[in-house]
Amino acid sequence: NRKVLSFDTGVEAWNYLQSGGEADLVISDVDMPGMDGFELLAKVKTKFPDKIFIITSGVREYEKRSRKEGADAFLAKPFEISDLFSLVQCFVVQ
């Protein structure tokens, strides 16, 4: 059984993960209050280097930066839900 958890801020997501919360992968927008997606990416990849991390943004120029900073994938907005499902299936073993 897999479930999807949603957090309003990068800080909330980070607090969940560092307190032992489980996640197969993290999907984060770049623009979030308190801690942006790149900050969250850096923290996650430092503490949990094997965790899959997908960055999303409407700023296509962030794709190169996201890969340089360790994201496993970049999903440009706007995107269809089928695009997200296809991408996630590439990483999650059934």
pLDDT value at 49 more than 80: yes
pLDDT value, residue 67: 95
pLDDT value, residue 20: 95
For the whole prediction, is pTM greater than 0.75? yes
Percent of the chain as helix, strand, coil, to the nearest 5: 40, 15, 45
Closest by CA position to 14, among listed 4, 67, 34: 34
Distances (CA, A) of 87 to 24, 39, 46, 47: 14, 22, 23, 23
pLDDT value, residue 3: 85
